């Protein structure tokens, strides 16, 4: 199960850690773009030192209620950071975007993975991903980020998430994305309540029948706040538990904020699985 990300080959039957690098204005409190680029690079360097195999660079917040940004603004936020990290660091740069122009530009600047929380549903996204030629993470979402948490409804969340992902794989392949370049993500918190999220996590291994590596993101999410009663900046232990469970259930990538601690947790999970 080897996958190549812009020339970097990784064995996806093991679990890798992806560090989150948001480059939205609220992520770095200082003023100008150059300071923000420096701050992003500093953070990226630290995540690589801490053992991240991927850095996920995103310029548009996907939180419920977040405002949309223009294509130009997203390009301006994301491209300099993708370029600088790709040039300097030994890591796979992932671009967190649903915008075809950002996918194309970021890959031309060195990104090795497209992470699309809208599963290539925006006009032109599937063909841009196909032309880019790098692996793509296709995530399940019910609705749009602005409204997805209003009242999500499923008859059978695992079946419906599986069907949606299979359908999006077919669309991507038809557009020219290689099936061997597709990673799937059940989309924790994207149009799901706590019960839906827990059902999905409890049955995560069943999504392997789709035949693609899995990416999982639960770090600091509100589902963990609902379980523990903790505020967002107090959810490290809960996030580590979620990453460990995901790794034990065969996730190929866990997307997290706390790289150093998660790398240790995933190493323990991997050692246990390899001892069987
Ligand atoms: C950008 N982003 C935020 N949460 C995410 C998740 O759970 N998965 C993926 N693939 N991307 C996410």
The domain of 42 spans 15-275
**CB-CB neighbours of 72 under 10 Å:** 9
What six digits make up the tokens of 184?
């799937």
Is 10 contained in some domain?
no
Which residue, by CA, sits nearest to atom 5 of ligand 1? 217
Pairing of strands 113-116, 2-5: unpaired
With a 6 Å cutoff on the Cβ, whether 117 touches ligand 1 is yes
Distances (CA, A) of 237 to 231, 233, 234, 251: 12, 11, 8, 19
CA-closest candidate to residue 91, choices 170, 6, 175, 195: 6
What six digits make up the tokens of 71?
């294509």
pLDDT in tens, 79-138: 999 999 999 999 999 999 999 999 999 999 999 999 999 999 999 999 999 999 999 999
Of the residues 43, 168, 221, 249, which is catalytic? 221
CATH number at residue 260: 3.20.20.20
Is 3 contained in some domain?
no
Is 176 contained in some domain?
yes
Is 23 contained in some domain?
yes
pTM of the model: 0.96
Per the annotation, the verdict on 220 as an active-site residue is no
Which residue, by CA, sits nearest to atom 2 of ligand 1? 117
pLDDT in tens, 213-228: 999 999 999 999 999 9
Spatial separation of the C-alpha atoms in residues 216 and 235, rounded to whole Å: 16
Domain count, the chain: 1
Pairing of strands 8-11, 2-5: antiparallel
């Amino acid at each position: 199960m080897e996958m190549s990300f812009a020339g970097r080959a990784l064995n996806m039957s093991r679990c890798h850690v992806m560090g989150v690098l948001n480059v939205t204005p609220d992520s770095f409190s200082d003023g100008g773009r150059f300071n923000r680029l420096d701050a992003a690079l500093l953070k990226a360097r630290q995540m690589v030192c801490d053992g991240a195999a991927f850095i996920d660079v995103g310029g548009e917040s996907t939180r419920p209620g977040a405002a949309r940004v223009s294509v130009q603004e997203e390009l301006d936020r994301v491209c300099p950071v993708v370029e600088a990290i790709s040039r300097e660091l030994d890591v796979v740069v992932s671009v967190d975007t649903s915008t075809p122009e950002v996918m194309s530009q970021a890959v031309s600047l060195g990104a090795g993975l497209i992470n699309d929380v809208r599963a290539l549903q925006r006009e032109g996204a599937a063909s841009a991903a196909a032309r880019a030629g790098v692996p793509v993470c296709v995530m399940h979402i019910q609705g749009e980020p602005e409204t997805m948490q209003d009242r999500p409804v499923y008859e059978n969340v695992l079946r419906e998430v599986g069907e949606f992902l299979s359908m999006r794989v077919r669309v991507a392949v038809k557009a020219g994305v290689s099936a061997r370049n597709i990673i799937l993500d059940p989309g924790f918190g994207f149009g799901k309540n706590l019960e839906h999220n827990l059902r999905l996590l409890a049955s995560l291994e069943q999504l392997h029948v789709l035949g693609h590596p899995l990416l999982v993101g639960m770090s600091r999410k509100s589902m963990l706040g609902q379980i523990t009663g903790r505020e967002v900046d107090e959810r490290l232990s809960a996030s580590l538990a979620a990453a460990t469970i995901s790794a034990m259930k065969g996730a190929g990538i866990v997307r997290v904020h706390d790289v150093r601690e998660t790398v240790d947790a995933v190493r323990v999970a991997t050692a246990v699985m390899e001892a069987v």
